[in-house]
Amino acid sequence: MRKLNLGSGEFPKPGFVNVDYYSRIQPDVVHDLDVAPYPFQEDEFDLVEADHCLEHLRDPFAVMREIHRITKPGGIVRIRVPHFSRGFTHADHKRGFDVTFPYYFDPSFPGGYMGVPFKLRRVRLTWFAQPYLKKAVLSPFVFYGATALGKVLDFLANLSPFLCSRFWCFWVGGFEEVFFEFEVVKEKAGKGVEARAHLMEGGR
C-alpha cells in the first residue's frame, strides 16, 4: 500500500512518502506544493493525507486536482484544514474552509464543479485540534480542561456539521479544524476528467 503525506513539516509519518519544501526536517521528497505537476506518476498512491497544508497554498483546487491525478481509483484522501471560524488565527493562513468544500468535487453541483470528482465519505469538525502542539504551550489544567470541553463541543457539532457552520460555530469561539475523507472517483478512460481539468487551467 503506497501512502503519501503532503506538507509533512516537522511531523513526518512512518510508512508514508513525506513531502515538504520548507521543513527543517528533511522529507523523503522536497517539492513546492504550489508547483504542478507533483513528481509522482498517475494512480501511484492508495492513500493521501494532507494535515493543515492546503490553507498555506495559493490554489487548493489545483492541489486537489494533483491529488486526484496521483491517487488510484477508489483510493482514500484525508484532508485536515482550519475551519473558517478560526482559519485566520495563523499569520501564514491564506484561507479557512467550510463544510461545503466537497461540493466543488461533485459533478452535479451547479455552483462551480472543479473538474475532478471525489466522493465524500466523512466530514468532522474539531474544536480543540492539534493537541500535540497545544500540550507544549498550555498548562496541564488548561490543556486537559480544553480537551474535555472540546469532546462535548465536537459531539454537538458533528450531529450536524452544516448547522454548526451556519448557525453557532462562532458562539463557542470557532472550530479549529474540519476533516474531510474522500474516495477518488475516476472515469474509465480517465480522459474526461483530464480534459475538464485542462480546460479549467487554460481558461484562467
Q: What type of residue is 7?
A: G
The answer to whether the CB of 79 falls within 8 A of the CB of 50 is yes
Q: pLDDT at position 188, please?
A: 67
The tally of CA atoms less than 13 A away on the side-chain side of residue 138 is 15
Residues 26-69: pLDDT tens digits? 999 999 999 999 999 999 999 999 999 999 999 999 999 999 99
Mean predicted lDDT score pLDDT of the chain: 91
Q: Determine whether domain 3-125+177-202 maps to CATH 3.30.420.40.
A: no
The answer to whether the CB of 114 falls within 8 A of the CB of 200 is yes
Q: What is the mean pLDDT of residues 195-200?
A: 41
Q: pLDDT at position 195, please?
A: 42
Q: pLDDT at position 14, please?
A: 97
Q: What type of residue is 130?
A: Q
Distance of alpha carbon 66 from alpha carbon 40, whole angstroms:
9
Residue 72 has a CB neighbour count (10 Å cut-off) of 16
The H-assigned helical ranges of the chain are 60-70, 131-134, 140-157, 161-163, 191-202
Domain boundaries, the chain: 3-125+177-202
Residues 94-125: pLDDT tens digits? 999 999 999 999 999 998 999 999 999 999 99
**pLDDT > 90 in the chain, percent:** 83
pLDDT at 178 over 70: yes
Residues 121-165: pLDDT tens digits? 999 999 999 998 999 999 999 999 999 999 999 999 999 999 999
Burial class from Cβ neighbours inside 10 Å (0-12, 13-18, 19+) for residue 125 reads buried
Residue among 9, 14, 11, 8 nearest 49 (CA): 8
Q: What is the mean pLDDT of residues 4-15?
A: 95
Cα–Cα distances (Å) from 158 to 74, 85, 122, 176, 204, in that order, read: 25, 15, 11, 14, 37
Q: What type of residue is 125?
A: L
